Amino acid sequence: MTLITTVLAFLLALGPLIIFHELGHYTVARLCGVKVLRFSVGMGKVVWSRRFGPDQTEWAVSMLPLGGYVKMLDARDPDAPAMNEADLQREFTRQNVWRRIAIVAAGPLANFLLAIVLFAALAMAGTVEPSTRLRAPAEKSVAYQAGLRGGEKVAAVNGKAVASWTELRWEIMQAIVDKRDARLDVTQPQGGQFGAILPASALKGLDVEGDLLAALGLDMARPKPVIEKIIAGGPGERAGLQVGDLVTAIDGQPVIDGIAVIEAIRAANGRSLALSLERAGAPVTASVKPEFDAARKAWVIKIVTSSMPEQVTVTSGPVEAVAKAAAKTWDTSVLSVKMIGQHDYRRSLVEKRHRSDHHCRLRGTDRAHGPLGVFGLHRLHQHQSGRDESVTNSGAGWGAFAVLFAGSFDRTPLARTDWGIRAARRNRPAGPADGPRCLQRRRPAPVDRSYPTKNLP
């Protein structure tokens, strides 16, 4: 996926995401009797607006497209219009804490519901993805030490069935985040079955945003290296290679797939290579001298071998699709939170939120999101698939991960928003209507950053 396609997919997903999220806040606010003054798609200066409905709510489009908000009637807002007694009863802070919690939670819940719908649509439509058949791992790799030799097909990880490479990577990534072993239930090419254990000690420290499967020695099995194309004027054509030739060995060393062919050519560093071929069932030999490709900065012989991994079509019925979508939504959200919790910046986020608490009051306004981090989001769902061509790069998959990103982070300090869920209205102590004390927001105590002055050496 190119940068332009990434940006366009992000923008196409962002608009409906914001609208759906804000509609969640708007709908529940109206159901709770709160007067909504403005529904804005975008932040900053209003560039277009119209008033509709019994409350004459202003529906607006603002200058900055990365965000949106629902502005409710709030007595704390110095710009709030004059309120009569009827309006005061519909003012945001005069609602009890349960209604305010419902209004605040409605946006993220709307995101999660939309993600479930998108994931379910993908599951019912069916997706074609690489299977879980494994390539022969390197001898010193974790996969080799676990007993994997290549050709096996992974059926489950820690008891959870996997049908595609995307699902395999997802389950191993969860094991890494949970700091536990990953048990692979595999089926051997001969039909036997056994369990391969990737120990937690080997998984520790792996970058979940990197190519973690390759770090473990796991890779997709590719077909035998049959030559599919020969570039005119290249070393392969001069050596007499033909389309349909099967490369069986290079310099006497067997090669199992196109990747092995590429590795052998690059390792030769320009030295002539002796190729063992099978042509129309008969053995053939050829000598080829690689040439250096300055654009690719690699030694090549200008041939193309078959490299498409085994593909599977994953489909689900309506009920199963909804169940899988709900589970995927939950797992993605939980994994996002766990990944945040394992970073060293947790404390800095909390302190940052405390410092911004004073000037980030929204006065009953949901100013959600801001920039969603398009490139980080693309990287996350791209690595969840383990390949650039994954179905998650389709519009629906891209949108589902964008929705979950917003929904998961909307309730974290990263959102840098203050939803106005206060235990008490201005100049009034908290009372029974505000709910249990544990749900009443309190400003955290100031962080003491002073250095000790006593008992210093």
Domain final residue, candidates 276, 307, 338 = 307
Same domain, 14 and 52: yes
Domain final residue, candidates 194, 216, 238 = 216
Asked, for residue 449, whether it belongs to a domain, the answer is: no
Q: Residue 443's pLDDT is what?
A: 44
Are the CB atoms for 22 and 368 separated by under 8 Å?
yes
Asked, for residue 447, whether it belongs to a domain, the answer is: no
Asked, for residue 363, whether it belongs to a domain, the answer is: yes
Whether 320 sits among the annotated catalytic residues: the reply is no
pLDDT tens for each residue of 320-376: 889 888 888 887 787 777 766 665 444 444 444 444 333 333 333 333 333 333 333
Asked, for residue 286, whether it belongs to a domain, the answer is: yes
Same domain, 210 and 322: no
Would the pLDDT of 187 be above 50? yes
Residue-averaged pLDDT of the chain: 77
Same domain, 32 and 114: yes
Rounded average pLDDT over 89-117: 91
Same domain, 233 and 201: no
Same domain, 232 and 320: no
Same domain, 119 and 183: no
Asked, for residue 208, whether it belongs to a domain, the answer is: yes
Asked, for residue 453, whether it belongs to a domain, the answer is: no
Domain final residue, candidates 307, 337, 362 = 307
Range of the domain at 292: 227-307
Catalytic residue among 22, 129, 152, 167: 22
Rounded average pLDDT over 440-448: 44
Same domain, 121 and 231: no
Query: How many distinct structural domains can be found in the chain?
Result: 3
pLDDT tens for each residue of 265-319: 999 999 999 999 999 999 999 999 999 999 889 999 999 998 889 898 888 888 9
pLDDT tens for each residue of 191-241: 899 999 999 999 988 877 778 899 999 999 999 999 999 999 999 999 999
Same domain, 77 and 158: no
Same domain, 111 and 87: yes
Same domain, 49 and 95: yes
Rounded average pLDDT over 142-158: 94
Asked, for residue 415, whether it belongs to a domain, the answer is: yes
Same domain, 435 and 319: yes
Same domain, 180 and 245: no
